[in-house]
Structure 1
Amino acid sequence: MQIEAISALAASGAAILGVPAALLVGFRQARAAREAAAHAAQAASAQWRNNSRRDAAVAFIMAVEQALELAREIRPAQMALDLEPGKLLRRELRKTLAVVQLEGPLCIAQLAESVQKAVDKTLAGVMAEHRRIAPSLALRAAAEQGNEAALVLRRQLNGQNLSGTRIDPQLWRDVVRAGVLTPRQVSILARRHQGRPTSGRPRVPFGELYQSHREALQRFIAVVRNQLDVPPGMPQSPPSSA
């Protein structure tokens, strides 16, 4: 009986001593599972953040591309154009820039702002120049189509360039009444032919501006790739200052 009792007590003690070991293993497994879940959540969050930033950058790049190409179309136009698409694109540029600024990171947002300002300035300048010459383009088109009021005013304007004579005010009213020009276009055309300067600032050739903006856009794309194509947790190289 004593031997059996001792054996039972020994077995019972071994079982009791084994309980803490099992608990310790379980705690370690639970902690490892929590850490793995936390790492997975962080990676998923980083990936989601990068995707949001990438989408913002893509929308901005597309808006810049459209603005540059529209400016290139407006610049050599030989007929009066509707400039409403240009106004819409300028607003789109500001809107997509705002999203990039909200999403970050700071280096991308700052570079996007410099690109937006430069492209917006060029597009606004091209549109302003087109508004200045649009009355002449519209008058020429109407004259070529045989509009009498446009023909008479155009002859007078050409004669004024040679002799400096004053244009009959009735001619301005005639082209407005005929729907050739708007009152505002008449004002612009009159100012132009009176020799009043529209801007005293030197102008950079459009081709140089266009190329400069293209290069700036390529630098922006390179920075976006450098910042957003790096796997989560990997170090990022600093953006190029070129």
Structure 2
Amino acid sequence: MDTVEIQRVVAIEDDNWWYRERRAIIARELRRLGEPGRAADIGAAGGGNTRVLLDHGWDAIAIDGSPAAVELARLRGIDAYHGDACYLPLSTGDFDFVMALDLLQHIPDDRTAAGELARVLRPGGTVLISVPSDLALWSARDVMLGHVRRYSRDTLTELIEGAGLRVDRLWSWNVLLRPVVKWRRHRAKPQDSERLNPAVNAGLRAVSMLERRLPVRGIPGTTLFARAHRPEL
């Protein structure tokens, strides 16, 4: 993610429905984990998701490959460091929880990056991963954002298990809005802004909140989430 895109995300993420709902997903997963511990947000950009960890009592740090992102995160009061996801500047087995949200699709060698996520987890530790799903949704926007792939359930599971982790849960997100996203991706210009009309933003937020209550997580959406753990020794 380049500097301009990072700055754009920081500018809109507090209000934009997509970023708000993603933070709600993180919060729900954290509540399932129980007692807070040490956490690392890998590919943290400006640290919006790291703040969720901190708000829930976790001792959290942010890692990003962009010096501009690290600086933005630090300006927001987050303990942030520059680091390559394939060579994390973190000790082995030192973290109870690791996040890598919308990161792996940017990395040509995603197997090495997944291995690093596993390495820094303590035995029994949990990782939360999200990636864009379904090659049918590939568009010029993926190219603009520096994506090198989109994932299926099988390819994401294979990646996680190949890193020595065990998948606890894998689910789709943005299932209800997938037809709209697919239609728009193949018609909108790549540079179209995501700063939405407030009424549209509220409507999309309402749809995403409705999805929480429906049994649709096994149906293809726009994003895949996976929660996995490092087996005990």
Q: Which TM bucket (shorter chain)?
A: under 0.3
Please identify which structure carries the higher helix content: 1
Q: Which has the higher Rg, Structure 1 or Structure 2?
A: 1
